[in-house]
Amino acid sequence: MASEAGLQVDYRPLAIQDPARWERVLGIAAFHIERSSVLATGNIPVADIRTPVLGSAGELCEIWRTRQPVESGQRARVQYRRGEDVLFGCISVPESDFQAPEASGGVSALQTATEQAYREIFATVDALACPHLLRIWNYLPQINLDTHGTERYRQFNNARRNAIAASGRELTGAVPAACALGSAPGSPLVIYFLASRATPAVVENPRQVSAYQYPPQYGPRPVFSRASVLREKSAATLFISGTASIVGHETLHVGDVVAQTRETLANIEALLAEANRVCAAVRFEMQALAYKVYVRHSADLPLIQAQLHAALGARARLLYLQADICRQDLLVEIEAIGQDTADSAA
């Protein structure tokens, strides 16, 4: 999934990577892999995420490449690599660094860690002249646990909003695609992201209320768009946020993982249609996307796989991870990445 100027993402083991090809690798997300095997990547930024890979795939990584020359660096805790127009970065912040809630007015360690991480991310992308965040992945342990009087996901959302507002960025409308998932207990807050020099297009789902307009019952409003599109010189890349069985603002099919998977695919199909409408002269297709599927209960994997294979075909590129999802009544969440297929079809 690449063009001469575009990004490329692959899901594959690190072991089969030819070191000579790492020259054009922007960054890596490693899922539940022994740290020693990740260290061999040298100065490539690696987001070390504690979410097990499901199925028979074994150890897999998400590997981002560009055809442009790249350079590496670090600002504060943000490790990054950038090409001419796009930057990959990651940051890991242990909550144990902030274990003094009494000294911070009762603010939880997660909230402090989140605000600190986002401040460092914004400072990095601004300093490197890639100020437009395209896509952000957030992983925090025990996402559904109640502490400090509220769910940890709501604590995270409150802190993210505070950091975004403090940076002078928008809280509605032109906001990046994103997701927030649970990771293993005891793991740090890990965030990785893509940013660009160019302003992306944002896409909302006509079947859903925008997340930043959710009613108050869901707590602090999440700041993300349903999808974003990066237009480069001769390529367009679509980033679909974590998508689930939500219509309007309500969860549908509680307790039914098959129906939730079907509803999630209907939402992705609606997003593709809207992206094709918003971005003239491009075409994104379901079968051409790469999918990352988060499964709350690993026992549900065969049911989810059957639905996705029926809808997408046996050749679909799918990575399955076990992770808790931001709403406790959601059993599956799917994100996707794709490139414009109009040129290849011409």
Supply the residues annotated as catalytic.
333
Side-chain half-sphere CA neighbours of 203 within 13 A: 29
CA 40/CA 9 separation, integer angstroms: 20
CA 257/CA 203 separation, integer angstroms: 26
- Residue 222: partners with Cβ closer than 8 Å, 6 or more residues away: 157, 160, 178, 180, 211, 212, 214, 326
- Sort 235 into a burial class: Cβ within 10 Å, 0-12 / 13-18 / 19+: buried
CA distances from 98 to 64, 117, 139, 161, 341 (A): 32, 12, 17, 19, 47
CA 67/CA 237 separation, integer angstroms: 14
Residue 208's DSSP bridge partners are: 248
